[in-house]
Structure 1
Amino acid sequence: MNIQIFGTKKCNDTKKAERFFKERGIKYQFIDMKEKGMSKGEFRSVAEVNGGIENMVNWSGKDKDTLALIKYIADEDKLEKILENPSVLRTPVVRNGRQSTLGYQPEVWKEWK
């Protein structure tokens, strides 16, 4: 397994995801989205697996201005705006090769090999 956890240090679900893998002795790589973020390619592959860009956005987030803008701009522009403002994404984004999840989903992670 090659686990990557994209999230923020303050996010409780990200902390729970780290604890999930740590307790099972599974090595993972943590990427702080406020420092590094995701590349366009990573973002597109995760969006494809999880039902598109719209599903990756945390619509109940705090940054209402950015969320309102994202809602009404073209898809390619959405991608750019989201990558500029990773705080609007649902976290954690957990990747294992081509598989990925949004949010805390231990039931899915248990099935990964």
Structure 2
Amino acid sequence: MGIQIIGTKKCRETQKTERYFKERGWPYHFVDLNQRSLSSGELAAIVTAIGAEELIDTESKVYKRKGMAYMEFDPVEEIEENPALMKTPVVRDGRKAVLGYNPDEWKEVHGLSK
């Protein structure tokens, strides 16, 4: 399995991440959360690497519209139901994952160079 960039085409940080990979010729597969949800296995691997609480985007429209700041909820269940709640981008390679635009961490975790 190769590196996946998980996000949406409209997310500026995801666009920046894709551009960074393209400029360096690093191979990747883009997963658009507007086109398909993550499988339970994919999400479980990301949660293990990053943490469920870290994945929730407290600035998202969905989070605010649902009033989630005042609710108790299972982050994994909520992301499965509504992928728009997940912070993006996530750069994933198997069981390793990095949240956000973070080139230094990508290089370290995924063994990328250039």
TM-superposition CA deviations, 1:49-89 (whole Å, max 9, x none): 11x2111001122221346189413x3xx423211211111
Aligned to 1:36: 36
Inter-partner Cα distance in structure 2 for 1:34 and 1:7: 8
Question: Is 1:91 equivalent to 2:109 in the alignment?
Answer: no
Q: Secondary structure at the match of 1:72?
A: coil
State the match for 1:46 in structure 2: 46
Q: State the distance in 1 between where 2:67 and 2:5 align.
A: 23
Q: Secondary structure at the match of 1:34?
A: coil
Q: Find runs of 4+ consecutive structure 1 residues off by over 6 angstroms.
A: none
When the two structures are aligned, how many residues end up with a matched partner?
A: 109
Any stretches of 5+ residues in structure 2 without a counterpart?
A: none
Moved more, 63-72 or 87-96: 63-72
Q: Percent identity?
A: 44
8 Å contact 1:6–1:91 — kept in the other structure?
Answer: yes
Shift of 1:102: 1.0
Root-mean-square deviation (CA, aligned residues, Å) is 1.9
**Equivalent position amino acid for 1:2 in 2:** G
Query: In the aligned structure 2, how far is the partner of 1:87 from the partner of 1:45?
Result: 18
TM-score between both structures, scaled by the size of structure 2:
0.85
Alpha-carbon contact 1:3-1:95 (below 8 Å) kept = yes
Q: Aligned partners of 1:85, 1:10: CA distance in 2, in Å? A: 16
